[in-house]
Amino acid sequence: MLRQHRRGVSAALAQKNQTNALANFIIKKPIRTKQLVEVLNAAEEQIKVAATKQTEKPPAPKTISSPKKAKPKTKIVDETTPKPAKKTSFLGSISKHLSRRKSPVAELPALALYIPTESDAKLTTINDAKALSKWITTLPKDNDKVTIDALLEKLIPLNRVTMAAENRLALLELYREPVNDLIFNRDVETVKLEMSDPAVFKAKVKQLNTFLEELALGYKLVIMQAYQQGLRPRLNTPFLFAIIRATESISLLIIHAFRHYRTTPTGAVHELHQLYLYSEADEVLDKQASLKFSSTKKPFIHYYSQIMLTGISDPYSLDKYDVFRLFNLMAKMADRVTITPLTDHQKTTDNSTVLAGHFCLECHSDRMSIPLHHINLEQRQQTDVRLLNPQGVLFAIEQIFDAAANTSTLGRYNLDIQLLKKVIPQFNASFQR
């Protein structure tokens, strides 16, 4: 129910265009900005009319008097005296604000990333980058659990308060710094804990998963704010920076799930697909971003290709200690991948030779890439389907094998060779020479 501005003017919120409520206006759910603006403008006019009627004075009674000499009707106007500004009503102000509000760029794809709702409660966090940097140095370096708990205590409320984009990004970069050590750390103590106390280790895995989720949420907040304001990553560096960092963070969240044989978080892969389509449409797939406090080392397409290649390799079939090694190995080959729209021939053919050796990205779905020959004709017609071609990766793997064969001892190639022998059938399963 919209509160009445003055007596006699009210509006009712209803599911349909009709309601039994005694109201001057009916607002149909869901509320649309255009409809709300129209109601506010109409309400303002009705209020003006009512106010005018109340202030109008009755006409004075006519009297008969003797005629007087008419005076010239000359009106003197002092143009140096400014006229009082017309006061804008409360409803008019809201109406103008709503009508001026920016919206997402129409020609770019829609983004629907999950972000937390803002909280009205007083939350304790650190909003200053220098203060946060100093505080992080006080955290213990030999106790990951205590460190992550402390970081979450500040990061979770940070993701639920309103903040300028660049300030948020500067803070998130400080939270991001220890991520690689926390995720890829495989020291002796970690292995012992995993083997001796699985329950405690499981709790630690869940805690780190929460931290990765919150880090990704922070970057997604910046993305959605810029998206709703109608900004473009091609023209707005913080927007592009947030897209690249969010992709990196979501990829780490997914690889962390692979590593511990957990299902990937619901919607995580779909969010990566959305960001791909958005970056593709705005022509920033291979662009990097640099802010005064940090720079991206790789563009969006690198991180996206890296995690998609890892998914092709069927990481759940690998030993848990090989997953991170595979992920890092795919980082070296991510730039060898090509991702393109399907050709007309690929959309309509049933020729297995044409379809062989390619993988399909269904960007409307929440799943990783799958062999193209598993996608039926109807699915291939979708405008958001893309073709992932790993033939450059296969060539790079062959080069590694050749280099190892020409070396007297496998040396540094040994572990990579063993791992690649496990995963190359996944890349070759539909590849015909």
Q: Say which range, 50-54, 172-176, 243-247, has the weakest mean pLDDT.
A: 50-54
Tokens of 332: 């070296």
For the ranges 77-91, 178-192, 293-307, 396-410, the maximum mean pLDDT occurs at: 293-307
Q: Say which range, 54-63, 77-86, 280-289, 346-355, has the weakest mean pLDDT.
A: 77-86
Tokens of 324: 């991170």
Per-residue pLDDT band for 1 (boundaries 50, 70, 90) equals very low
DSSP three-state, residue 333: helix
Q: What digits encode the pLDDT tens for the residues 199-217?
A: 888 888 899 999 999 999 9
Answer with the residue of higher pLDDT: 63 or 424.
Answer: 424
Q: What is the rounded (10 degree) CA torsion for 187, 193, 198, 199?
A: -120
pLDDT of residue 59: 54
Record the pTM.
Answer: 0.75
Residue with tokens 């907040």: 221
Single-letter code of the amino acid located at 319: D
Q: What digits encode the pLDDT tens for the residues 338-391?
A: 999 998 888 888 777 667 778 999 999 999 998 888 888 888 899 999 999 998
Tokens of 215: 């880090």
Per-residue pLDDT band for 319 (boundaries 50, 70, 90) equals confident
CA distances 324 to 178, 305, 307, 320, Å, are: 17, 16, 11, 8
Distance CA 321, CA 185 (A): 11
Q: What digits encode the pLDDT tens for the residues 139-155?
A: 998 888 899 999 999 99
For the ranges 41-45, 324-328, 352-356, the maximum mean pLDDT occurs at: 324-328
Answer with the residue of higher pLDDT: 329 or 53.
Answer: 329
Percent of the chain with pLDDT over 70: 70
Answer with the residue of higher pLDDT: 55 or 415.
Answer: 415
pLDDT of residue 3: 45
Q: Which long-range contacts link 51-54 to residues 24+ away (Cβ below 8 Å)?
A: none
CA distances 229 to 100, 225, 372, Å, are: 11, 6, 37
DSSP three-state, residue 159: coil
pLDDT of residue 192: 67
Per-residue pLDDT band for 183 (boundaries 50, 70, 90) equals confident
Report whether pLDDT(2) > 50. Answer: no
What mean pLDDT is predicted for residues 50-72? 52
What mean pLDDT is predicted for residues 114-138? 88
For the ranges 40-44, 50-54, 169-173, 175-179, the maximum mean pLDDT occurs at: 169-173
Report whether pLDDT(418) > 90. Answer: no
Answer with the residue of higher pLDDT: 251 or 82.
Answer: 251
